[in-house]
Amino acid sequence: MYTRTQQNSNLRFDLQVIASWIRPGSKVIGLGCGEGDLLAYLKQHKQVRETGIEIVEQRVVKCVEKGLSVIQGDINEEVHDYPDEAFDYVVLSQTLQQVYDPLSLIHSMLRIGKKAIVSFPNFGHWHVRMQVLLTGHSPFTPQLPYTWYGTPNIRILSLRDFREFAGEVGFSILKEVAINTDKKDKSGIIVNSLPNLRATYGIYLLSKK
C-alpha cells in the first residue's frame, strides 16, 4: 500500500519526513547540511537550536545568510570536538553513501547525539536492479545521476544492507521510512510494501542499543 503524503512546503520530500520526526525546541546538528534548507525549516517551524557542518564555502555563506550557525569543515573530523550527547538529533541526510568510514561516523553521531537520523538512496530499487541486469551498465537514475567515474557515491548500499549493518555493529533502528519521490524529489510517497525493491530512499532514526 502507498500512503499519499501532502507536500506542505518547498522542503524536499525526504527532508519533510526527517523534519516530522524532530521534537520542537530540540538541539539539532546537520552533517553535510548544504545550503541549510532543513535546518532553516526546523529553526523556523520547530524552534530548534541548530548547527550545520558543511565543507563548501559558498554553501556555508548561504547558511549564514539564512541566519543559521554553521561550521565549514569535514564532517568526519568536525564531529569529534563536541561533548557527549551535545545534541538531541544528529542528521546525516543523503551523505552516508559518500562516507569513507560509515561505521565510525555513525558511532560518532550516536556519541554526540541522543539520536541519529540517516538517509541514503536505495541501491536496491528495482530501477537500479533492472538497469544492471538488462543493460549491463552501472546504474544511472534520477537518484543516482552519476557516471561510474564521476560519482561521489563510494558506498553502494540497499535498505536491506543497512538493516543488517545495524544488527551486526549494534545500534537500534527506532524508526524506518522508505520513500519514493518524483524526479525533483519535491513530493513523494511513503512505501510500505516491498520497500527494498520499490523505495528510492530510506530514512532511519537510530539510537545506541
Partner 1 sequence: MSEYITHDPAGKSVGKVEKNFFTFAEPPNEMRLDSGAKLGPITLAYETYGRLNADKSNVVLVCHALTGDSHAAGYYSDNDAKPGWWDNMIGPGKGIDTDKYFVICSNVLGGCMGSTGPASMNPATQRPYGMDFPFVTIGDMVRAQKALMEHLGIEKILSMTGGSMGGMQVLQWCVQYPEMVVSAIPLATTMRHSALAIAFNEVARQAIAADPNWNRGDYYGKQNPDLGLSVARMIGHVTYLSDEAMRRKFGRRLQDKNDFSYQFDVDFQVESYLRHQGAKFVERFDANSFLYITKAADYFDLTRFNNANSAVRVFSESSARFMVVSFTSDWLYPTYQSKDMVKAMKKSELDVSFCEVEAEWGHDAFLLPNERLTNLVKGFIDSVYQDATKQ
Rounded CA Rg of the chain: 17
Interface residues for partner 1 in 112-171 (CB under 8 A)? none
3, 20, 81, 142: residue in contact with partner 1 (rule CB under 8 A): 81
The CB-of-20 to partner 1 minimum distance in angstroms stands at: 25
Largest CA distance in the chain: 50
Q: Residue 141: which of 57, 201, 67, 75 has the closest Cα?
A: 201
Beta partners for residue 171, in sequence order = 208
Q: Is 25 one of the binding residues for partner 1 (CB under 8 A)?
A: no
Q: Count CA atoms within 13 Å of residue 83 on its CB side.
A: 1
- The minimum distance between CB 16 and partner 1, in angstroms, equals 24
CB of 44 to partner 1, least distance (A): 11
Is 76 a binding residue for partner 1 by CB under 8 A? The answer is no
HSE-CB for 57 with a 13 A CA cutoff: 0
The CB-of-64 to partner 1 minimum distance in angstroms stands at 4
Interface with partner 1 by CB under 8 A: which range of 49-57, 119-127, 183-191, 197-205? Answer: 49-57
Grid cell in block for residue 57: 564555502
Q: Which is nearer to partner 1, 71 or 197 (CB)?
A: 71
* Full DSSP string of 106-158: HHHHHHHEEEEEEEEE-TTSHHHHHHHHHH-SPP--SSS---TTT--------
CB of 49 to partner 1, least distance (A): 7
Binding part of the chain for partner 1, among 9-17, 58-66, 150-158, 168-176 by CB under 8 A, reads 58-66
* Interface with partner 1 (CB under 8 A), residue from 5, 7, 72, 172: 72
Q: Is 57 in the site for partner 1 (CB under 8 A)?
A: yes
Q: Is 101 in the site for partner 1 (CB under 8 A)?
A: no
* Residue pair 181/14 in contact by the 8 Å Cβ criterion: yes
Q: What angle do CA 149, 188, 192 make, to 5 degrees?
A: 100
Question: Which residues form the interface with partner 1 (CB under 8 A)?
Answer: 49, 51, 57-58, 60-61, 63-73, 78, 81-83, 86
